[in-house]
Amino acid sequence: MLATLRKWVREPLVQFMTIAVLLFVSADSFFPRDEIDSPYAIEVDKTALLKFLQYRNKAFNASAAADHWQRLSASDREALITDYVRDEVLYREAINLGLDEDDQIIRRRLIQKLDYITAGFIDDTAKISEQELASYFSVNQNDYTIDASLTFTHVFIDASKHDVGSRSVLAGNTLQQLNEHSVPFEKAPNYGDRFIFHRNYVDRTPAFVVSHFGEEFSDEVFKLSEGSHWYGPYESRYGTHLVQVRKNIPGYLPRLDEVAALVLEDVRRVKLDEKRRQAVDNMIGKYSLHRNLPKAKVKVKDSSVDIVRYSHGLFPQELANAQ
């Protein structure tokens, strides 16, 4: 029996098979199949990230992408990895639904499509209560500030037709005439030169007035009182202006009932974004991430971490901890 066993041990085929079995067992121990071969494993390496970076920036230059990668800070690299993982998860989920075949252009469409489908599933669940509406408005009330508005007319003296000296004299004489004759709002077009924009401005905000006349002019006219009196002269880059204000409404913080529709739309958008993020995080929670990147030359708490598993509520914190 012992002699027969020794004879078998000397056989090259037996030796080969024994070595093969040992290698297989060793490989299975060091590289668990459920980790590496799992459809829920994501391999992150520099090649994949550079490819992702080129498609995201729509600039297909490998050298430029590599330079861009080298210039990224540690936090920016982690943000890029987070985006890559999110897209990869959505892409695989779309493939699992059999939406289409592997293609970079279609990949983007599939990600968008799954994002849209996810939003559709959660749309009906994003109900808004009156309490939520009031609470959101209380915290974000300044975002709904009603801008000041001004209704005014002006008499324009064109700088391209009159030099500074004559313009100043003409403005003074015209202002005196306007006030002496109590020239009303609607008669303003009978005086002065034609302006490049409008003669009358109705319920216009400071930003709009600035776009036509400049910031200094806007600051001055929004201080004026309503009535039949004419004020000036005020300068813009186009020339000199004499102004009569019909209505001047200061900016104010509105009540909730005045902007309820806007607040409802914003709260609904915030809730949908949060539910969509949670849905994506739940998908990501099924995947393990295998990082195959050079170690950063910084001191880290645990540099031996090669595989990061994500679970709901922890992503992307675990990713940051693994750097």
The answer to whether position 109 is within a domain reads: no
C-beta separation of 213 from 236 below 8 A: yes
Structure tokens given for 168:
């100043």
What is 211-222 written as a DSSP string?
A: HHH-HHHHHHHT
**In terms of residue numbers, what domain contains 245?**
149-249
The answer to whether position 162 is within a domain reads: yes
Structure tokens given for 153:
């007319």
Q: What pLDDT is attached to residue 238?
A: 96
What is the number of structural domains in the chain? 1
Count of CB atoms situated within 10 Å of the CB of 244:
25
Which tens digits make up the pLDDT trace of 58-109?
676 788 888 888 888 989 999 999 999 998 898 888 878 777 655 677 777 7
The answer to whether position 94 is within a domain reads: no
Q: CA distances (Å), 11 to each of 1, 66, 125, 253, in order?
A: 16, 53, 70, 92
Domain containing 163 — which CATH number?
A: 3.10.50
Structure tokens given for 226:
């309503």
Q: What pLDDT is attached to residue 26?
A: 54
The answer to whether position 238 is within a domain reads: yes
Which tens digits make up the pLDDT trace of 261-280?
999 999 988 888 888 888 88
Is the entire prediction scored with pTM above 0.75? no
Structure tokens given for 192:
């002065």
Which portions of the chain are predicted below pLDDT 70?
1-37, 58, 60, 100-103, 110, 113, 116-126, 296-323
The answer to whether position 189 is within a domain reads: yes
The answer to whether position 301 is within a domain reads: no
